[in-house]
């Protein structure tokens, strides 16, 4: 194997230990325990697993978590009422609406209803705007995790060509936005590719850093990768055999790349970790606001 493995699982454990220490200090000083509220609508087995992992992780770092379950027939009105209630609840610092939501619900309207100060997934238009302007309040968890992976693995982004495969609002676009900002983990020259991109391989072969987030199993082949490139695989695809694979043909690409993330054990654990980081930031923001109001 030529490429060095970017071990997201080990890094996530290190960052979670740092967060646990910060939570301990924050709770001792402010007498507040950060709390993440997760809203799960309907019975999607994958969503159940994601929410369980997020809650367990939050409790591991000393936060509290709440799970609010709603049945699959829940109306938009009822869900919006719950969001309003969580927005007003001073004991809740982060609100997580697990996607996908059932068909009768307008997901965009629900995500826009979450208080931007509790929007730990960073999906609210106000938080998207702040990110684009280069002054993020919260960064979306998956791209934030990828950026931390690059920074903490010593992979230089400044002045290098980063190619992002995928333009979703959750991964591709915010990933590109983070990489193009000024500062550590940024200052890259960024290209975004999507399903209408022509001659995709000619573009990916120019990438010093290639980030794949398209949801197509083992799509990125060795001849699409520049020798020595850092390849980050966000994809999570289940093969008919049940095996979980990424968007990158790992066995072939590892012979060409300089660095590569595995699936599983790459980006996934970092996504959960950055959700915890955002929840702690939300709790800090709330405590600062409370203290400012008390001194007026
Ligand atoms: P979306 O389906 O929302 O977006 C996929 C993007 O990839 C679209 O922009 C689409 O283009 C583009 N695309 C699809 N096929 C091709 C192709 N053949 N060539 C070029 N571009 C293509 O997916 P997400 O961004 O939500 O997720 C992407 C992957 O990452 C999935 O496998 C998902 O499971 C995984 N994921 C993993 C996370 C983790 O924590 N590890 C977190 C979130 C997602 P167009 O816009 O033109 O349709």
Q: Which long-range contacts (CB under 8 A, 24 or more apart) does 10-15 make?
A: 11/148, 11/149, 11/152, 11/153, 11/269, 11/270, 12/145, 12/269, 12/270, 12/272, 12/273, 13/269, 15/148, 15/270, 15/273, 15/277
Residue 295 confidence (pLDDT) = 65
Residue 105 · residue 74 · CB < 8 Å: yes
In a domain, 50, yes or no: yes
Q: Is the residue at 10 inside a domain?
A: no
| Residue nearest atom 17 of ligand 1, based on CA coordinates | 195
- Let me know if residue 193 belongs to a domain: yes
Segments of the chain assigned E as strands: 4-5, 35-41, 64-70, 94-97, 161-165, 189-193, 209-212, 230-233, 237-238, 244-245, 259-260
Nearest CA to ligand 1 atom 31: 215
Q: How far is the CA of 281 from the centre of ligand 1 (A)?
A: 28
Q: Are residues 254 and 160 in the same domain?
A: yes
Give the separation between CA 113 and CA 126, rounded to whole angstroms: 11
pLDDT of residue 102: 97
Name every protein residue with a CB atom under 6 angstroms from any ligand 1 atom.
142, 165-168, 170-172, 193-197, 200, 213-216, 234-237, 267-268, 271
Q: How far apart are CA 97 and CA 266, in angstroms?
A: 24
Q: Are residues 149 and 248 in the same domain?
A: yes
Q: Which atom of ligand 1 is nearest to the CA of 270?
A: 40
Pocket test for ligand 1, best of 214, 273, 275 (most atoms within 8 A of CB): 214
The reply to whether 164 falls in a domain is: yes
115 CB-near residues (< 8 Å, 6+ apart): 87, 95
Q: Which residue has the tokens 């960052």?
A: 15
* Phi and psi based region of residue 240 (left: phi greater than 0; alpha: psi -120 to 50; beta: remaining): alpha
Q: Is 159 left (phi over 0), alpha (psi -120 to 50) or beta?
A: left
Number of structural domains found in the chain: 2
How much distance in Å is there from the Cα of 165 to the middle of ligand 1? 8
**pTM of the shown model:** 0.97
> Which pLDDT does position 292 carry in this prediction?
84
The CA distances from residue 170 to 53, 73, 123, 152, 202, in Å, are 19, 25, 8, 22, 25
Q: 125 in a domain, yes or no?
A: no
Residue 171 and residue 238 share a domain: yes
Residue 293: predicted pLDDT: 83
- Examine the domain organization and report whether 158 and 233 are in the same domain: yes
Residue 276 lies in a domain: no
User: Quick one: 230 and 188 in the same domain?
Assistant: yes
Residues 105 and 182 in one domain: no
54 is catalytic: yes
Question: Has residue 133 been placed in a domain?
Answer: no
What is the structure's pLDDT at 289? 86
Q: Are 161 and 189 in contact (CB under 8 A)?
A: yes
Same domain, yes or no, for 260 and 216? yes
Q: How far apart are CA 221 and CA 291, in angstroms?
A: 54
Q: Verify that 110 and 153 share a domain, yes or no.
A: no
Catalytic residue chosen out of the listed positions 16, 118, 119, 121: 121
Domain that holds residue 158: 141-268
Same domain, 164 and 219: yes
Same domain for 200 and 101: no
Active site residue 98: yes
Tell me the best of 145, 176, 193, 195 to mutate to test the pocket of ligand 1, counting ligand atoms within 8 Å of each CB and taking the most: 195
In a domain, 45, yes or no: yes
| CATH number, domain containing residue 237 | 3.40.50.720
Two tokens, residue 33: 């325990």
Q: What is the full per-residue pLDDT of the chain (296 aa) written as tens digits?
A: 689 999 999 999 999 999 999 999 999 999 999 999 999 999 999 999 999 999 999 999 999 999 999 999 999 999 999 999 999 999 999 999 999 999 999 999 999 999 999 999 999 999 999 999 999 999 999 999 999 999 999 999 999 999 999 999 999 999 999 999 999 999 999 999 999 999 999 999 999 999 999 999 999 999 999 999 999 999 999 999 999 999 999 999 999 999 999 999 999 999 999 999 999 999 999 998 888 887 65
Where residue 40 sits, what CATH number does that domain have?
A: 3.40.50.10860
């Amino acid at each position: 194997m030529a490429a060095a493995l970017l071990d997201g699982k080990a890094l996530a454990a290190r960052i979670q230990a740092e967060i646990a220490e910060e939570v301990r200090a924050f709770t001792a000083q402010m007498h507040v325990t950060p709390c993440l509220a997760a809203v799960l609508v309907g019975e999607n087995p994958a969503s159940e697993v994601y929410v369980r992992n997020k809650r367990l992780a939050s409790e591991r770092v000393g936060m509290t978590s709440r799970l609010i379950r709603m049945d699959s027939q829940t109306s938009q009105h009822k869900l919006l009422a719950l969001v309003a209630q969580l927005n007003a609840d001073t004991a809740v610092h982060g609100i997580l609406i697990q996607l996908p939501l059932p068909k009768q619900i307008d997901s965009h309207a629900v995500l826009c209803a979450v208080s931007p100060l509790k929007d730990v997934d960073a999906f609210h238009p106000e938080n998207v705007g702040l990110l684009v302007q280069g002054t993020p309040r919260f960064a979306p968890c998956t791209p934030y995790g990828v950026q931390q992976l690059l920074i903490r693995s010593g992979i230089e982004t400044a002045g290098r060509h980063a190619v992002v495969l995928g333009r979703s609002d959750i991964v591709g676009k915010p990933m590109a936005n983070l990489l193009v900002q000024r500062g550590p983990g940024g200052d890259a020259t960024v290209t975004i590719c999507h399903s209408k991109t022509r001659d995709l391989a000619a573009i990916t072969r120019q990438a010093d850093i290639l980030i794949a987030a398209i949801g197509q199993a083992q799509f990125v082949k060795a001849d699409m990768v520049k020798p020595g490139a850092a390849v980050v695989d966000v994809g999570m695809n289940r093969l008919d055999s049940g095996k979980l694979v990424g968007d990158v043909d790992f066995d072939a690409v590892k012979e060409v790349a300089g660095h590569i993330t595995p699936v599983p054990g790459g980006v996934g654990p970092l996504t959960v970790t950055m959700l915890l980081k955002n929840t702690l930031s939300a709790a800090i923001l709330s405590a600062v606001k409370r203290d400012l109001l008390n001194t007026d």
